[in-house]
């Protein structure tokens, strides 16, 4: 399928929600038209894409923004006197403002473009490690729900600095034990890094309380927003964390772009990470001075197209309304939950009021086999550990089958999944 300008205009004008009673004002059928890939067939069956927690599909509005960038204004940014360089710079900096507004950050100086969540967390780990703010004997707190990308960077840091990692345990219902969290917080705690929504179980963590408690012992806080960015309205001032990280590809934007939001005074105070073009003000072999934030943390040519397309994706989300998206998706997840609950010997992980994803296992059936058979019926779900091996170990499992929703999924797809599961289970039992 390919879109020409005319189609683009026509589609852009089509209303994407209608005002009716019920769980949601979104019109998923209209929205689906925005996503070219959704008209694909897999093994001769219509694609049902339920792997949104891994990555989201892209609407043509985003694809068109990328293409228009290259067809109209592509140039390297900053310092160029020629027209294209200036147009590209303007678009890139406007994208930064779009991100700022989306997160309700205080200023654009607080928005650093990275290549993704993992990159953003590593940035923080590296610069904190060299800041003098964390020293041997200190502690960092993460949780048992974390993605490897919010474990690995801290493990590397622990080894480098001789500090230790404390883990907020996960309760049987897949939520964090905040009572134990409180006992872990001491004046040795220098950082608390927690995901906003668990990619494995869909658990929504109470990040406001987590940050509030951390502040009381003077610890910094990082929220891994890889999952929340597509599902929740985010206000970094309200959460009152020090760092917030997310990836564009999880929120309908391309791969290779992400964001680190950080408090401006921290960005000013912390040492640089990568050295190179853009992040430098004056260079001589004797002495180099660094640029101001956010440029200080954007060494080299950034992913200009990615940043601009990310802004287009956030605009897409905001046009639909993140609150509407949230309530619509919650409706889908609740329906999934009740369908799955009716399967004999199913275990559903995580709390009932989960967001975005639902993870489960069926006794005697390998998630990998179920996933394989579902794929043959056109359903894209993820199986395995979801980059959360410690969490899997906590529940004594090798993995789960996970369905995760996006704004384009429908109740029809959810019901079809129920039927497909039944069929697959018949084969496997």
Partner 1 sequence: MTISERQDELLEELNLFQDWTERYEYIIGLGKKLPPMDQSLQTEDHLIKGCQSQVWLDASLVDGKMHYLADSDSLITKGMIALFVRILNGQTAQDVISTELTFIEKTGLKEHLAPTRANALTLMAAQMRKCALEAS
Ligand X SMILES: Cc1ncc(COP(=O)(O)O)c(C=O)c1O
Site for ligand X in 195-214 (CB under 6 A): 195, 199
DSSP E strands: which ranges in 186-312?
189-195, 220-224, 243-247, 258-262, 280-283, 288-290
Torsion of CA 290, 292, 297, 298, to 10 degrees: -100
Torsion of CA 143, 332, 408, 305, to 10 degrees: -10
The upper half-sphere exposure of residue 232, i.e. CA atoms within 13 Å in the direction of its Cβ, equals: 24
What's the closest the beta carbon of residue 403 comes to partner 1, in angstroms?
17
Which of the listed partners (a second copy, partner 1, ligand X, none) does 227 bind, with a CB threshold of 5 to 8 Å by partner kind? ligand X
Pick 206 or 369: Cβ nearer partner 1: 369
H/E segment holding residue 5: helix 5-13
Token match 């963590």: residue? 205
Which of the listed partners (ligand X, a second copy, partner 1, none) does 90 bind, with a CB threshold of 5 to 8 Å by partner kind? partner 1
DSSP at 378: T
First-to-last alpha carbon distance for the chain, in angstroms, is 39
For ligand X, the binding residue among 143, 227, 337, 355 (CB under 6 A) is 227
Say whether 211 is catalytic.
no
Q: Does 52 bind ligand X (CB under 6 A)?
A: no
Token couple for 81: 């006197």
Pick 160 or 301: Cβ nearer ligand X: 301
The site for partner 1 (CB under 8 A) is made up of 43, 79, 81-83, 86, 89-90, 365-369, 372-373, 375-376, 383-384, 398-399, 427-428
Rounded Cα gap, residues 322 and 318, in angstroms: 6
What's the closest the beta carbon of residue 82 comes to ligand X, in angstroms?
16
Stretch that binds ligand X, among 22-30, 220-228, 313-321, 328-336 (CB under 6 A): 220-228
Count CB atoms within 10 A of the CB of residue 363: 10
Q: Does 275 bind ligand X (CB under 6 A)?
A: no
Site for ligand X in 104-123 (CB under 6 A): 116-118
Which of the listed partners (partner 1, a second copy, ligand X, none) does 151 bind, with a CB threshold of 5 to 8 Å by partner kind? a second copy
The residues annotated as belonging to the active site are: 387
Contacting residues toward ligand X, per CB under 6 A: 116-118, 147, 149-150, 195, 199, 224, 226-227, 247, 249, 277, 300-301, 387
């Amino acid at each position: 399928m390919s879109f020409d300008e005319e189609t683009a205009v026509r589609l852009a004008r089509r209303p994407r929600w209608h005002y009716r009673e019920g769980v949601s004002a979104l019109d998923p059928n209209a929205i689906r038209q925005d996503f070219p890939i959704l008209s694909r067939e897999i093994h001769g069956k219509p694609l049902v894409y339920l792997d949104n927690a891994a990555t989201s599909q892209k609407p043509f509005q985003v694809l068109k923004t990328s293409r228009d960038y290259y067809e109209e204004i592509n140039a390297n940014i900053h310092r160029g006197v020629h027209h294209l360089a200036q147009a590209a710079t303007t678009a890139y900096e406007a994208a930064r403002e779009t991100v700022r507004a989306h997160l309700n950050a205080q200023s654009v100086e607080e928005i650093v473009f990275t290549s993704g969540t993992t990159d953003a967390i590593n940035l923080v780990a590296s610069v904190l490690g060299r800041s003098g703010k964390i020293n041997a004997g200190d502690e960092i707190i993460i949780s048992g729900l974390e993605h490897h990308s919010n474990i690995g960077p801290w493990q590397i840091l622990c080894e480098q600095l001789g500090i230790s990692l404390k883990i907020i345990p996960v309760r049987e219902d897949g939520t964090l034990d905040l009572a134990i969290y409180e006992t872990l917080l001491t004046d040795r705690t220098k950082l608390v890094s927690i995901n906003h929504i668990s990619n494995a179980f869909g658990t929504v963590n109470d990040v406001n309380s987590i940050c509030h408690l951390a502040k009381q012992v003077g610890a910094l806080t990082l929220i891994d927003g890889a999952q929340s960015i597509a599902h929740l309205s985010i206000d970094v001032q309200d959460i009152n964390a020090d760092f917030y990280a997310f990836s564009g590809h999880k929120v309908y934007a391309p791969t290779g772009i992400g964001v680190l939001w950080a408090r401006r005074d921290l960005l000013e105070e912390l040492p640089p990470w990568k050295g190179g073009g853009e992040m430098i003000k004056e260079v001589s072999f004797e002495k180099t001075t660094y640029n101001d934030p956010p440029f200080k943390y954007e060494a080299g040519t950034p992913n200009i197209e990615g940043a601009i397309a990310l802004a287009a994706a956030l605009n897409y989300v905001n046009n639909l309304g993140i609150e509407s998206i949230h309530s619509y998706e919650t409706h889908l997840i609740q329906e999934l939950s009740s369908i799955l609950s009716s399967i004999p010997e199913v275990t559903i992980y995580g709390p009932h009021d989960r967001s975005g994803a639902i993870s489960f296992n069926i006794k005697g059936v390998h998630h990998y086999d179920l996933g394989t058979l579902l794929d043959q019926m056109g359903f894209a779900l993820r199986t395995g550990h979801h980059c959360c091996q410690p969490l899997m170990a906590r529940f004594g499992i090798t993995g789960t089958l996970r369905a995760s929703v996006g704004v384009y999924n429908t109740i029809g797809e959810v019901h079809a999944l129920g039927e497909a599961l039944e069929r697959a289970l018949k084969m496997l039992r």
